[in-house]
Structure 1
Amino acid sequence: MSTQAATAAARRSKLTPEREAELYEAVICLLREGGYDSVTMEGVAARTKCGKATLYRQWGTKPRLVTAALDKRRRTVFTGIDTGSLVGDLREAARIAASRRERDAELMEAVSQAYIQHPDLRAALRETVIEPEVAAIDAMLRRAVERGEIAAGNPAIGFVAPCFLGMLRIERLFEERFTDEATMRTFVDAVLLPALRVDAPDRETTGD
């Protein structure tokens, strides 16, 4: 059963939304306290006074429970962005990303090592956390091609989503260089847009 199917099954269960939220919060707390290895079905059951069998019945495996908790806490943030221009879309994505980066980065760091070591967790995270964000950014680029803003054959198109999401991850390794929320906006204007051969209007022109 896929992660999405497991999450859907949980939503169809007898668990109330409040109880489900309590279980997810316990997972997040365990992740913050000790990383992925500190999360166990037994630990979540004990912390929430929930039967371990219930957790296995609803989510099947620990990776699916963890990714469901992360997915619930961090909904896709770029879906729905459509300002009418690629410049506007990428700048809005940068603004949203900057406002959430500390909260999201903390949780992703908690599972980063496990992501490498556990293929089942990697697959589940890719499905529930990474792929929706990539799809949203790719949709911005498709619309830009349709509007004639960028050439369909521009080789940079395929690198935009990986670069954008990668920047969010690597920022914390270079905190002395990337210290404020202007970082992602500058990254969009100075790196992504030139690679796509799009001129970035200045703030006065756009009214930002």
Structure 2
Amino acid sequence: MPSPGSAQESAPASRRSKITPERAQELYTAVLDLLRESGYDSLTMEGVASRTRCGKSTLYRQWGSKPELVVAALHGTRRTLFSDIDTGSLSGDLREAARVVDAASGQDTALMHALSHAALQNPDLLCAMRSTLIAPAITAIDAMVERAVRRGEIAADNPAAEYVAAQVLGIMRARPLLEGRYADDAFLARFIECAVLPALGLPVPPPAPGVSGT
């Protein structure tokens, strides 16, 4: 006769056995799209069910609650914006990161803003947001800095080196609050040239064609 503990352990597996990985990806994409459109508070299981033509009971049976579904969607669609960037110089890497952020501003940046307040109230959601949206970006930027140290661009003991990720990711979060718009390519490139590179003791490269400080 199975013990109560083993019955409890088998319940999640049976609860999650009816949706294919492909269908789950469709649901996760819809969840994140709805979050970007209207925020966490306005997201409902009914809305997800309507958007995906999925029964609400199926969603509850599979994930149990809205927070569980959002956490699963974050983990199920995890991607790293900056992982493939390696231009051969730190200034080039950071400017390419600015371009990538601009291209993704309606996706990842909007998602972070949609989740930020709710994540502070929900430890699991905060952990998922950090591990899927924030930590990979920090790791990639730290890798850019480490390559710059190995190339001799900056000294290993440069006190500003450990704050590059905080500067870049922080301004991405702050500009919508301060100015009501996302940190686009031109703004981020100017920020990197005026704040990040000087702190590292690096020369400011000439602006790319078409890039202004607006």
- Asked whether the two chains share a fold, i.e. TM above 0.5, the reply is yes
Instruction: Find the counterpart in structure 1 of residue 25 from structure 2.
Output: 21
Range with greater deviation from structure 2 (87-96 or 31-40) = 31-40
Identity %: 53
Q: CA deviation at 1:116?
A: 1.7
Residue-by-residue CA offset, 1:53-84 (whole Å, 9 max, x unaligned): 2235xxxx644531342455562110111011
Does the residue aligned with 2:203 lie in a helix, a strand or coil? coil
Aligned residue among 86, 100, 105 for 2:90:
86
Matched-pair contact (CA < 8 Å) for 2:78–2:132: no
Alpha-carbon distance change, 68 to 176 in structure 1, aligned in 2, over 3 angstroms: closer
The amino acid across from 1:165 in the alignment is L
Matched-pair contact (CA < 8 Å) for 1:101–1:168: no
Query: Over aligned residues, Cα RMSD in angstroms?
Result: 2.9
Residue-by-residue CA offset, 1:73-105 (whole Å, 9 max, x unaligned): 562110111011111101100111122223333
CA distance in 2, matches of 1:23, 1:72: 10
1:146-157 to structure 2, matched below 5 A, reads: 146-157=150-161
Alpha-carbon distance change, 76 to 160 in structure 1, aligned in 2, over 3 angstroms: same
Does the residue aligned with 1:161 lie in a helix, a strand or coil? helix
Aligned length: 190
Matched-pair contact (CA < 8 Å) for 1:63–1:124: no
Instruction: Find the counterpart in structure 2 of residue 3 from structure 1.
Output: none
CA distance in 1, matches of 2:180, 2:48: 37
Matched-pair contact (CA < 8 Å) for 2:101–2:184: no
Alpha-carbon distance change, 178 to 76 in structure 1, aligned in 2, over 3 angstroms: closer
Stretches of structure 2 lacking an aligned partner (at least 5 in a row): 1-12, 209-214
Instruction: Find the counterpart in structure 2 of residue 6 from structure 1.
Output: none
1:57-96 to structure 2, matched below 5 A, reads: 62-70=66-74, 72=76, 75-96=79-100
Matched-pair contact (CA < 8 Å) for 1:67–1:128: no
Between Structure 1 and Structure 2, whose CA radius of gyration is higher?
2
1:30-179 to structure 2, matched below 5 A, reads: 30-32=34-36, 34-39=38-43, 44=48, 48-49=54-55, 51=58, 52-56=60-64, 62-70=66-74, 72=76, 75-175=79-179
Q: CA deviation at 1:108?
A: 1.9
TM score, norm. by length of structure 2: 0.75
The amino acid across from 2:55 in the alignment is K
Matched-pair contact (CA < 8 Å) for 2:49–2:55: yes
Of structures 1 and 2, the one with the larger relative CO (CA 8 A, separation 6+) is 1
CA distance in 2, matches of 1:161, 1:180: 17
Matched-pair contact (CA < 8 Å) for 2:141–2:165: yes
Does the residue aligned with 1:37 lie in a helix, a strand or coil? coil
Stretches of structure 1 lacking an aligned partner (at least 5 in a row): 1-8
Does the residue aligned with 2:204 lie in a helix, a strand or coil? coil
